[in-house]
Chain A
Amino acid sequence: MSLAHDAPAAWLAAEGAVEAGYADLLGRLQTRCLVDEDWSALVDDAVTMWSRPGFDTFVTVPQLPFTPYDYQVQAAQSALRRMRGRAILADEVGLGKTIEAGLVLAELRQRGLADKTLVVTPAGLVGQWQEELDRKFLLPSVVPRAGAWERSADRPVVVASLAAARRDPLRSALADERWDLVVIDEAHRVRNPRNASGKLARALRTRYLLMLTATPVENRLDDLFELVSLVAPGLLGTAKEFRSRHGGAGAGTAAVGDLAALQARMREVMVRHRRSEVSVLLPQRLAETLRVAPAPDEAALYAEVGSRIRAAAAGAPTSTLLALRQTARLVGSGPVALAPALGKLGWADLAAAAGSATRGKERPLLELLRRHACRGEKVVVFSASRRTVEHLAGVIDTAGLASVVYHGGLSRHAKDQAVRDFAADAGVLVTTEAAGEGRNLQFCHIMVNYDLPWNPMQIEQRLGRLHRIGQSHDVLLTNLVTAGTIDDHLLHVLEAKINLFELVVGELDMILGRISDEFDLESAVFTSYVQAGDDAEFAARLETIGDELAGARREYLASREATDLLVAEPA
């Protein structure tokens, strides 16, 4: 007989009973209270919210505002169950490694296992991570400023750029924290234990670790060893054992010793899906460029603006350079957007000239829109300038084509209405970059870049609004560009060197990241422009940048093949 049966009063004071909370509830039961049906239902709900089954059931998936693909859920389950929360997520680009990491994060968080999470990502992806976590996983995040961040349960995830995180004071602050989960995006950048990024990754303390990279191995086997040793030290044996078994220190991936054993080990720590294996097939992207010859007055305006920018940039402080760069970018958008910027720089004569200049791209745009309208096709027209967007909407309406305007200044209801109108009646949506963040625009498959962002990731994001899961048509992109402008030169490089507009989603990032961690094409273009004596020299400088991009693309493709080899299933 147990103590419980012999002496229930003593049992109530025993550790197990106290921990479970019997005495407290028993005391209340003595007060003759009746069961409150509504409260009982509330308790049942609380129990459901608090209960977490094993990882074979994902409790967060039904709560998400989107439905992840099966392979994404499987990847997250593998990371949590088989790999015990320390894994390399190495899907090919564009298959949603961020989603997989988000699933792991949301699941751990819901189970009370990830109160403190750090995401380290290239600077250009910080905003995208925040948006994905917020919109898709309902997880607001915070970005550290000046080496510190607001510690708030409202913002459970810290998203830090790799560039900031690897330098003090942020580096020390992150290393001092005891994290529950660390996610390192584009993790191939932290492979090298001797550089600052590699040292940061090795200094972070965390129970669960996710490394996201489509290319965990470049052309040296040691790359793989370093990355795996971060996630699961010893899984590949010691460095000496690894080298003697699979290849020397500098051995390439082409001649791996005991490949089958290595592949088996990799399956214990790495998840990789290839586009060919999953049923997510995006339609093609088809790009064309309409080069518009400017009218003489327009050409003269742009030439004079270019000369003044080059002259003003010499020795100018950073704030002036930023204003000049913004003005140079607006040339691509046309006189309507350019005029106010010129006025702000104090170039009233040019502002006045812009106010009356020919707007050469409007006519070909209208012709293009009419052709699509005749075929019943809807078109999204992008411009970086809100002024241009509003002006174009007027031009399009005057031409008898129905359009709607969308930009960040609209209220949420106005944005909803704009998308509804576009889906229902209007043939054209004229919009800034704000369009479609989280909006479903896949019912349209034709887009026009009225101007060209100099940051290729922005081009990618514009394309991504239409070229995404759910799109059933090939996406047709038309770039409208005025001959002889910076946009014209840049477009040539992006098309000729890396075939930018027809890359698979995500590949661009892989290419840009290979040039350097902090490579900024927009800045490189402007610097080349103002430092060049004339347009011919500018074109030559851009060509050099283009060659770098092309080299990075070749490296990326080689790396992808090497990775595929190492995670292949046995034949």
Chain B
Amino acid sequence: MSADSALDFWLRWAEREGALYEPDEDATLVVLPSALQDALALPDEVVVTANPEVAREENGVLLAAGHPALDRATEEVLRRGDVGHDCLATPAAAIPDAASLLARARDAIPVDHGRLDLTGVPVRERVPVLRVGALVTYTVGLDDRFQERAEAWIEVPGRVRLPAQISTMLAQYPRDRGGSAASAPEGLAAAMAAAHEQIAATATARQQVLTSQADATRADEVARTRAYYDEVLAGLARRRGTATPERRGMLDAKLSATRAERARRLAEIEEKFRPTHTIRLFRLHVLWVPALRLPCVVQRGSREFPLALRWLRPPRAFTPVACPHCRALESLVAAKDRLGCRRCLPRSATVAG
């Protein structure tokens, strides 16, 4: 982000907080409401700029990266987060007929030893999809300290993660701004938990790789630092052994200072390599996506296992189907007595066929 865009961000934020501003050629006059004056420790009228020379000569505030007023705005915006419901516009394209939808479902969602069949007509609905945005901060030593943006898209009723090609399309699809907000859908907290699990699992895996990479470097640095200070301390101790009483006091002080320095340095190294990651949420949207619910069954001989499928109209794709037992996104198998993924079914049941 350039200095100018950082300033632009701050002005937009301040305006939302009740400030008024008047851009000039190379500086902007801002009138702040009293709450912002207090929060930012700025006067009621202030000239802000991204140009250091202008700031100096016009006694203005240089709003560049690291300025507390900018940090405050960033922190405040992130703290408040981006929350709300949104409706995707209804596609103009015609809805596929039931037979065609069933054929697509059979291609997209294969079920071993079973066959998908419709049990009713497709029903129009809006499926709530949870969009979670988070920032993950990783720290493993200095060179591995960084933040990454993470997103998870979860279809709320099924608590299933949407693949990237679907979520990308949903993010870009036009919104229907005329609608009013719905109430929170059922199962929202569970969907949030699923989203968090996804983000946390990715972060943990990343963290483990980073940690293992840094371990050898840390051990090496600690060893050589210990050896260095051991030698210095041993030398001081030797000199102290043969020193006159007057010099001994001075050497004692030096020993003590060196021990403190060693402890400090070793602590610094440990601190430098301590692995951590933190997840910070900044976005929680519920997108209401035009969809068709297909009441289905999986048939195996005379046995039927009910299954509800959802066809998302904008991406023209089915939401993935999770194993009803473990929630894993694995291929389903129709066993003699239940439907599930291979791991959730007794081995004999899947093999028996």
Name A's B-contacting residues (CB within 8 A).
1-5, 8-9, 11-12, 16-17, 19-22, 24-26, 28-30, 32-40, 42-43, 45-55, 60, 62-63, 65, 80-82, 84-85, 106, 109-111, 113, 134-135, 138-140, 153-154, 156, 202, 205, 207-208, 229, 232-235, 237-241, 411-412, 438
Contact = CB atoms under 8 A, between A and B. Distances in A.
B326 A51 contact: no
A75 B78 CA distance: 33
Nearest to B130: A29
Given A30-B184, A42-B77, A234-B225, A54 B193 contact: no
Interface stretch (B93-101, B114-122, B275-283): B275-283
A110 to B, nearest CB: 5
A243 B197 CA distance: 56
A60 B83 contact: no
Given A20-B196, A134-B52, 13 more contacts: A5-B193, A25-B281, A34-B85, A34-B181, A42-B9, A43-B81, A43-B283, A45-B12, A62-B1, A135-B53, A138-B52, A140-B62, A207-B272
Contact of B66 (A21, A110, A207, A438): A110
A244 to B, nearest CB: 12
A20 B281 contact: yes
Contacts of B64: 63, 138
Contacts of A2: 193, 197
Contacts of B133: 47
A36 B200 CA distance: 27
A234 B231 CA distance: 10
Given A26-B188, A233-B229, A35 B143 contact: no
A16 B188 contact: no
Nearest to B326: A1
27 contacts: A1-B327, A2-B193, A11-B193, A16-B279, A20-B196, A22-B284, A24-B81, A29-B286, A33-B181, A42-B9, A43-B77, A45-B1, A46-B78, A51-B147, A60-B65, A84-B143, A106-B65, A109-B65, A138-B3, A138-B52, A138-B64, A138-B66, A156-B66, A237-B228, A238-B227, A238-B231, A238-B232
Nearest to B8: A45
A210 to B, nearest CB: 13
Interface string B135-159: 1000001111111110000000001
B192 A26 contact: yes
Nearest to A9: B189
A49 B228 contact: no
Contacts of A240: 231
B2, B57, B175, B192: residue with the most chain A Cβ atoms closer than 10 Å: B192
Contacts of A234: 223-229
Given A8-B189, A45-B9, A239-B231, A80 B142 contact: yes
Contacts of A45: 1, 5, 9, 12, 77
B135 A50 contact: yes
Contact of B193 (A17, A110, A232): A17
Interface size range of chain B in the complex: 35 or more
A437 B53 CA distance: 10
Contact of B196 (A16, A54, A109, A412): A16
Contacts of B282: 43, 46-47
A559 B143 CA distance: 32
Contacts of A110: 65-66
Contact of B142 (A42, A63, A84, A138): A84
A16 B193 CA distance: 10
B37 interface: no
Contacts of A46: 9, 73-74, 77-78, 282
Nearest to B261: A202
Nearest to B133: A47
A153 B66 CA distance: 9
Interface in B159-196: 159, 175, 180-184, 188-190, 192-194, 196
Given A35-B82, A202-B261, A237-B228, A50 B74 contact: yes
A25 B81 contact: yes
B251 interface: no
Contacts of B184: 26, 29-30, 32
Contacts of A106: 65
A229 B228 contact: yes
Chain A, interface SS category? helix
Contacts of B146: 52-55, 111
- Give the residue among A4, A17, A40, A154 with the most B Cβ atoms within 10 A: A4
A39 B58 CA distance: 31
A49 B184 CA distance: 31
Given A22-B281, A33-B85, A80-B143, A63 B6 contact: yes
A33 B84 contact: yes
B274 interface: no
B227 A237 contact: yes
A141 B9 CA distance: 24
Contacts of A1: 326-327
A30 B183 contact: yes
A53 B13 CA distance: 24
A34 B84 contact: yes
B189 A51 contact: no
B280 A20 contact: yes
Given A21-B281, A39-B82, A138-B62, A11 B189 contact: yes
Contacts of A38: 12, 16
Contacts of B280: 19-21
A241 B230 CA distance: 13
Given A63-B6, A154-B68, A233-B228, A50 B82 contact: no
Contacts of B65: 49, 60, 63, 106, 109-110, 138
B62 A49 contact: no
A411 B53 CA distance: 12
A27 to B, nearest CB: 9
A11 B30 CA distance: 44
B247 interface: no
Interface in B247-272: 261, 264-265, 268, 271-272
A26 B189 contact: yes
A81 B143 contact: yes
Contacts of B304: none
Contacts of B194: 4-5
Contact of A32 (B51, B183, B231, B271): B183
Contacts of A156: 66
B225 A233 contact: yes
A63 B2 contact: yes
A320 to B, nearest CB: 34
Complex A-B, nearest 8 residue pairs according to Cβ-Cβ distance, in ascending order? A4-B193, A234-B228, A238-B231, A8-B189, A234-B224, A138-B64, A35-B84, A32-B181
Interface string B1-28: 1110110010011001000000000000
Interface in B206-265: 221, 223-232, 235, 261, 264-265
A420 B53 CA distance: 17
Contacts of A85: 142
A350 B143 CA distance: 67
B143 A33 contact: no
A138 to B, nearest CB: 4
A35 B285 contact: yes
Nearest to B195: A22
A80 B145 CA distance: 11
Contacts of B271: 207
B296 interface: no
Nearest to B287: A35
